[in-house]
Chain A
Amino acid sequence: MSLLAFFGWLGDTPWSVDLHESQYAYAIIESIHVWTMAVFFGLVVMFDLRLLGVIMRKVPVSEVLERLLPWTIAGFVLMVITGLLLFYAIPVRSFQNLFFRGKMILMVLAGLNVWLFHSRVYLRVVARDGDGVPPRAARIAGACSLVLWIGIVMSGRMIAYNWFDCDRQPQTAMINFLTSCFPEAGP
């Protein structure tokens, strides 16, 4: 079974149809997704700016991380749960949406950045915890995080638009390739 066929099956499950056709549930889930995004993204920006040595230079990096992380994680968890539900409501269309695919790639990169930061960079930052401006590697991680999350928020917003969607032909061969769309075979 291909991924596309699997998402086709998923989209035909009763709960997915209910969610898709609901008057309020979808809107409420999407609202929670945006609000928790604001909490998560806002706090990530604060931490990244601390890593870049732009704000709160007198506060040790480890303190900023430890004290803000629980709230950031809370925002992240709600964001992921609501995000999965939004995907579940319209799986095929999301899976074939160009912006959705871009967003997923950026999220993998952002995850990689978090992993590299915590496994390779963080101990070095803590060793110089009091420094107003953290070491270069930490600043690079902070800048990457900022750029990636800005890209994720913006591409997330764009998923709502169907400019490159499979059911809107003709598209260029490149777009159809990037969205796994085979118009002659039907979406």
Chain B
Amino acid sequence: MSSLELFQWFYATPIAETIRNSTWLFPVIEAFHLLGLGLTVGSVLLVELRLLGVGLSRQPVAQLAASAEPLLIGGLTLSFLTGIPLFLSESIKAYYSFAFWIKMISLFLALLFTFTIRRRLTRTDLTAERPRLGRAMAIVSLSLWFGVAWGGRWIGFS
């Protein structure tokens, strides 16, 4: 099965067809997808601002990261639960969309970075001794998430 055939199969799933046949399902799911985006960005920023030495800079990184993690997981869960049906309903358009692939690659890298390197480093207070490392990490993380947000917004324009 080629990847195009796989995307055609996604397109033909009952859930995709239900969304396409409805006037309001796509917009409503998308509105919840936006809330997921907001929650994800908020919980990422809480820690990233701290790593950049601004925001809640008097708090230990590990403590902030621990506060933010359930919200990050919540934001990502909401984004996935709404993003997957949105994708299914227009998977063929997505296949041919440059923005979609940018979003998926950025998302993959962002998740990989967040749940390996970033998670490990924010659990210690290592970045307090090495603020440059923290800043670099925040810039990498914000850039990857911006790639996701850019691709996500641009899918709609392509």
Taking Cβ atoms with an 8 Å cutoff, the residues of A that contact B are 27, 30-31, 34-35, 37-39, 41-46, 49, 55-56, 58-59, 63-64, 67-68, 71, 150, 153-154, 157-158, 160-161, 163
**Complex contacts, B43 vs chain A, CB 8 Å:** 42, 46
Q: A38 near B23 (CB under 8 angstroms)?
A: no
**Complex contacts, B58 vs chain A, CB 8 Å:** 63, 67
State A35–B63 Cα separation when bound (angstroms): 27
Is B21 interfacial (CB 8 A cutoff)?
Answer: no
24 contacts between A and B (CB under 8 A): A27-B157, A34-B34, A34-B149, A35-B149, A35-B153, A37-B38, A38-B41, A38-B42, A42-B39, A42-B43, A43-B45, A45-B42, A45-B71, A46-B43, A46-B46, A56-B64, A59-B56, A63-B58, A67-B57, A68-B55, A153-B31, A153-B34, A153-B35, A157-B30
Main SS of chain A's interface residues?
helix
Which of A55, A58, A63, A160 contacts B71 (CB under 8 A)? A55
**Complex contacts, B39 vs chain A, CB 8 Å:** 42, 45
Chain B count of residues within 8 A CB distance of the other chain: 36
State A42–B149 Cα separation when bound (angstroms): 14
Taking Cβ atoms with an 8 Å cutoff, the residues of B that contact A are 23-24, 27, 30-32, 34-35, 37-46, 49, 54-59, 63-64, 67-68, 71, 146, 149-150, 153-154, 157
**Complex contacts, A163 vs chain B, CB 8 Å:** 23-24
Which of A43, A64, A67, A154 contacts B42 (CB under 8 A)? A43
Which of B31, B40, B57, B63 contacts A42 (CB under 8 A)? B40
Q: A42 near B157 (CB under 8 angstroms)?
A: no
Most buried by B among A27, A30, A157: A157
State A16–B146 Cα separation when bound (angstroms): 29
Q: A67 near B55 (CB under 8 angstroms)?
A: yes
